[in-house]
Amino acid sequence: MLKHKIIERPAFTIVGMVYHSRDENDSIPALWGRYLPRECEIDDVVERGVSYGLCLPAEEGDFRYVAGVEVKPGSSIPEGMVSVDIAAHRYVVVTHTGPVMEIANTFRVVNTQVLPDNGLEHDGKVDFERYDHRFRGPDNPQSEVDIYISLA
């Protein structure tokens, strides 16, 4: 089973670019490809070298995914980007090791094993990936990404 920890994360703000799952002509990898060259346009970054991938619920089962960085509250938003405020919340945190294309499997294991085996419940709010110095590229088998799943 995946090692996990439970944390209380204070409120934070992400500025970045958004993908909507209903857009058949787009993808999350394409979003990162558009976002990364523009990341330097974002001011007031809280932690340089750390990026986030937010999974946000939307209407009728759709979801939004935001690739971005944490910024200080009230920071400016570059043209073509969005700002998302995330309330303080409790999360289960696991580390995904391996290529990004396998990350969906880690989410599945968390939801089908880690949560039920520990009497925890996903609340369907904001989940996110946190990419730091341990991320070595999307195809690298040694890349590590922390996954935060919101708890009820």
Check whether 18 has a pLDDT greater than 80. Answer: yes
pLDDT band at 57 (very low <50, low <70, confident <90, very high): confident
Which option is the CATH number for 5-150: 3.40.50.620, 3.20.80.10, 2.40.30.20, 3.40.50.2300? 3.20.80.10
SS (H, E, C) 97-146: ECCHHHHHHHHHHHHHHHHHHCCCCECCCCEEEEECCCCCCCCCCCCEEE
Please state the separation of Cα 29 from the chain's center in Å: 13
Provide the percentage of residues in the chain whose pLDDT is more than 70. 99
| pLDDT given at position 71 | 98
Mean pLDDT of all residues in the chain? 95
How large is the average pLDDT for residues 24-53?
Answer: 95
Domain edges within the chain? 5-150
pLDDT band at 86 (very low <50, low <70, confident <90, very high): very high
| pLDDT given at position 128 | 97
